[in-house]
Amino acid sequence: MGAVQSYRLRLQRKRWRIRAFRKRRELSSIADRTSTIKRDDILVFSTLRNEDVRLPYFLDYYRDMGVNHFLMVDNDSSDGSVDFLAKQPDVSLWHSRKSYKRSRFGVDWLNWLQTRYAHGHWALVVDPDEFLVYPFCDTRPLRALTDWLDASSIKSFGAMLLDMYPKGRLDAQPYRAGQDPLEIAAWFDSGNYSIQKNKKFGNLWIQGGPRSRVFFPDKPALAPALNKIPLVKWDRKYTYVSSSHMLLPRGLNLVYDEWGGEKASGILLHTKFLDTFSTKAAEELERKQHYSGSVEYLAYSDSAKDDPDLWCKWSEKYINWRQLEILGLMSKGNWA
């Protein structure tokens, strides 16, 4: 990596930071409880739109894990999300009516909030349908992990997105507020992932899973990226480049070992595929606010009409993190 390239990335990083700074004006505060954030608190950052049915379980899941404060951006929800979140004692809420796409899918907004509030904290960036699983998460709180990462001088922790789906039609089992979505979307693909290295940013680019298998069998290159680096000991100089897939400076993207060993990593259980999915897909298609002309949602809605069953004979049923580690989807690394 030459000096020129490294300087270019530096400029790019500054550009994203300036952009985030400009985009701060699109955010209006609804409930600001950031003064209650203490020095060592673990923070969750999230954008959402019309997710009220998911929010109760989402908040409880991360509260139990030891998250201290949630900083959330509501992108013009029309359901009860705003009222519900504004009432929560550990949530600070912002609102934006502006384009999700123009804010680079919420990245600019969250980059700004992180610059402002996350400096020196462990910050976890997740959507309301993503649930972090890390080694020993059934016996050790998230604080144990961040303390260990601190002690090991590790600044970022990777957690691949694992698409979960139900057996049978997506709309067969309705999801109720407060319910564990994994009771319905309990299945996943264990071994059909393809990895490439992104030379420029140094991150891995992972594709595969049920979305690639069912929606993109003939156009695998278009399948969505599954690599994520959601947990970072934030510094105001950092910036996410695209969603939580990659960061700058690029050293933060090196969450994998290149010399044969395994680094510790987790999984984001992605519970997008519930009965709420088809309405969401229809709405998102209308809004055209997602990646590359919503090609993902287009493909979904095409296949979803014919055969909405993602399940196949070789699908695995989720048990716990140890199962994911044995299957080779995540690793304990040298955390024992």
Partner 1 sequence: MSVGIVMLVHTALDRAEQAARHWASFGCPVVIHVDASVDRETHSAFVKSLSDTPDILFSKRHMCEWGTWGIVAASQSASELMLTQFPEVRHVYLSSGSCLPLRPVEELIEYLGNRPRTDFIESATTADVPWTVGGLDKERFTMRFPFSWKRHRYLFDRYVALQRRIHFRRKIPNGITPHMGSQWWCLTRQTLSAILQDPDRETYDKYFSKVWIPDESYFQTLTRLYSTQIESRSLTLSKFDFQGKPHIFYDDHLQLLRRSDCFVARKIWPRADRLYQAFLTDAAGALKKTEPNPGKIDRIFAKAVDRRTRGRAGLYMQSRFPNDGWDNGVTSGQYSVFQGFSDLFEDFEPWLEKTTGARVHGHLFDPDRVQYSGQQSEINGALSDSALTRDYNPKAFLTSLIWNTRGERQCFQFGPNDSQEICWDIAKDPNAQISVISGAWAVPLFKSNRNFADIRTEAALLQKIESEHLDILRSYFAKARIRIWTMAEFIEAPMEPLQSIIDEIGHKTLHRLAEVPKMSDLSGFGKFLQNLKNQGMHPHLMGDFPVMLDEPSANQKPRKPYLVQ
For partner 1, the closer CB: 15 or 219: 219
State which of residues 78, 97, 218, 307 lies at the interface with partner 1 (CB under 8 A): 218
Select the span of 31-39, 114-122, 257-265, 273-281 touching partner 1 (CB under 8 A).
257-265
**Does residue 255 interact with partner 1 by CB under 8 A?**
yes
Task: Write out the two tokens for 262.
Answer: 């395994």
C-alpha distance from residue 229 to each of 4, 13, 93, 103, 107 (Å): 26, 17, 23, 19, 13
Query: What single-letter amino acid sits at 227?
Result: N
**Does residue 3 interact with partner 1 by CB under 8 A?**
no
Site map 262..301 versus partner 1, x via CB under 8 A:
xxxx------------------------------------
In the complex, minimum distance from the CB of residue 330 to partner 1, in angstroms, rounded to a whole number: 7
**What span, in angstroms and rounded, lies between the C-alpha atoms of 326 and 31?**
43
Residues pairing with 72 in the sheet: 46, 93
**Does residue 192 interact with partner 1 by CB under 8 A?**
yes
Cβ 123 vs Cβ 231: under 8 Å? yes
For partner 1, the closer CB: 51 or 163: 163
Tell me which residues in 92-151 interact with partner 1 (CB under 8 A).
136, 139-141, 143-144, 147-148, 151
Closest CA to 134 of 72, 57, 246, 42: 42
Tell how far CA 181 is from the center of its chain.
16
Closest CA to 103 of 28, 24, 8, 161: 24
Select the span of 85-93, 105-113, 204-212, 239-247 touching partner 1 (CB under 8 A).
204-212
**Does residue 307 interact with partner 1 by CB under 8 A?**
no
Q: In what order do the strands lie in the sheet with 42-48?
A: 28-31, 91-95, 69-74, 42-48, 122-125, 231-233, 156-157
Task: Write out the two tokens for 60.
Answer: 């409880």
In the complex, minimum distance from the CB of residue 220 to partner 1, in angstroms, rounded to a whole number: 4
What residues line the site for partner 1 (CB under 8 A)? 136, 139-141, 143-144, 147-148, 151-152, 158-160, 189-197, 204, 206, 210, 212-213, 216-221, 227, 255-265, 312-316, 328-336
